[in-house]
Amino acid sequence: MPEQTTCASLLKVLADETRLSVMQQLMDGPKHVGEINDCLQIDQSLLSHHLKVLREKGLVISERDGKAVLYSLAPDVSINHQDGKVINLGCCQLSFE
């Protein structure tokens, strides 16, 4: 995560329901934008905005996959499936049921 990122700033980013949904989807593995949007059903430009915010905070990473872009959780974001779906942000944990 970027050095200047605080727990409060991460939680503020994840307070948005769409961004939280994106994170939850990426817990199952990398996904292309189209795959993410198949579930969210929002305008492509709005999804791109949310992905940009998540990238800037160091929560997700992107890589080119031909003409598409593949998104995944950043290496600093760990997942614990033993206790259900839990994302460990280092400063706190988010649990999905």
1 Cβ contact partners less than 8 Å away, ≥ 6 residues apart: 10, 57, 58, 59, 74, 76, 89, 90
Which domains does the chain show, CATH number per domain? Answer: 7-96 (1.10.10.10)
**Stated pTM of the model:** 0.87
Per-residue pLDDT tens digits of the chain, which is 97 residues long:
554 578 899 999 999 999 999 999 999 899 999 999 999 999 999 999 999 999 999 999 999 988 889 999 999 898 887 767 898 888 888 888 7
The pLDDT score that the predictor gives to residue 1 is 53
Q: Among residues 69, 88, 72, which one has the least CA distance to residue 80?
A: 88
Burial of 71: CB neighbours in 10 Å, binned 0-12, 13-18, 19+: buried
